Amino acid sequence: MTARIVVAAPASGHGKTSVATGLLAAFAARGLVVSPHKVGPDYIDPGYHALAAGRPGRTLDPWLVGEERLVPLFKHAAATPAPADLAVIEGVMGLYDGAAGRGEFASTAHVARVLAAPVLLVVDSTAMGRSVAALVKGFAGFDDRIRVGGVILNRVGSDRHEMILRQALEELGLPVLGAIRRHDALATPSRHLGLVPAAERAQDAVDVVRGLGAVVAESVDLDAVLALARSAPDLPGPAWSPDDEIAALRGSEPGPGPRPVIALAGGAAFTFSYAETAELLTAAGADVVTVDPRTDEALPVGAGGLVIGGGFPEIYAEELSANRPLRIAVAAQAKAGAPIVAECAGLLYLARSLDDREMCGVLDTDARMTGRLTLGYREATAMSDSILAPAGETVRGHEFHRTVCSPGHGATPAWEWTGPDGRRLREGFAEGRVHASYLHLHWASRPGAALRLAEAARAHTPHAAHPRAGRDREVRA
């Protein structure tokens, strides 16, 4: 059994990420092996979690992967690369906020219930006195299937303020497990309703994570938090396994020949990637090699396929455009028929231009930043056969961007879905072996995509090129 705790709050902005990251760092400093998790589709918070825990931050999103995969994916993450002593699961928005119009579905409470995990409620107590008890009582009693086991008071103003808050909560019989003062120096800059990715902040992010760990260790009763986490019961069933997923689809071992190389975009401009993507591609027989489109001037030796996830390429448009050798190499790969899957930022990179800066020119579209944020869950139908899905199949994904492409889709759109206004929208590009769209998917729900991509990359890789030659980039296991 893995001890586990869900860090939740009444709403966004109460300090969940700071507390969850600080708990991970504080327990890791004690010598515990900690497993970081995030409810929802977010890529950014897991980056800070990973710095604190020393292992990938993982998302748990019922919309993207299905409720039935939450426990198996949690067990896999808690055991990879080594069994964890404690899992810290950061919630999303307010405790009971889920997918719009679907009740508790995809909320923090939903995930806490499925994982049978106790909840630690973080409350921003700024300008609050005895009313904190009314707030906490409402959240603790709203759904009797959710166990709120303790409270952390955040942004406490003074000793007297803390005393007033603690006295109010004593009336509820719910323990206060920590009181954290205001620490403006540990604030993290935001962008588009989220933090600036840790990969963009380098040493600053490391320093903030270390500082959060120190503050939490000083301000929170870590022994009490660990005891609460250890009160979680055993979870039934096996862990999710990328090898088992691929084996169930393959039916036979791949034929002889070298393992195909699949390049995975990384670096500061492309930080949005779920760890399970690389794991599934590896299980499907590929060597996954990270390439940084800002600095690497060539694709990995023998590359037969390319995956370009999300991120903030608009911040680095000048550098991406200046790296002409790689842009030419990517365009050549597409022209030669190599399989390429691009999501959001990857779509922009494959466009003719981004904010008037030249990109790869694979797609007949131009991208630009806007003042409008597009975000939300989507249920989309594939418009044609592709690596990601056969025509007519329905998938679940999410959008998160401030850019638009003109045109928004090609002659063969990637997807069709119903927009918030009820209109059917077509989006993305499915041209040859290139699939590019704003839609983010979680491949744990679509392991066949990894297998099809690996097999297409194997077929495209010239037999004379051995992918293990001349590696000078990180290989993702």
Cβ atoms within 10 Å, residue 142: 13
What six digits make up the tokens of 457? 């990359």
CA gap 472, 56 in Å, rounded: 22
234: DSSP letter: P
Alpha-carbon torsion angle 63, 66, 69, 71, nearest 10: 60
How far is 85 from 6, CA to CA, in rounded Å? 15
344 is catalytic: yes
What is the Cα–Cα distance from 236 to 422, expressed in whole angstroms? 40
Do 44 and 195 meet the contact criterion of CB atoms below 8 Å apart? Answer: yes
Dihedral sign for Cα 195, 199, 200, 203, please.
Answer: positive
Per the CB < 8 A criterion, the answer to whether 28 and 21 are in contact is no
Task: Give the tokens for residue 213.
Answer: 């760990």
**CB atoms closer than 10 angstroms to residue 79:** 14
Distance (Å, whole) CA 268 – CA 274: 15
Confirm if 437 and 427 have CB atoms less than 8 A apart.
yes
Of 329, 338, 344, 441, the active-site residue reads 344
CA distance 124 to 436: 41
Secondary structure class of 116 (helix, strand, coil): coil
Provide the annotated active-site residues. 344
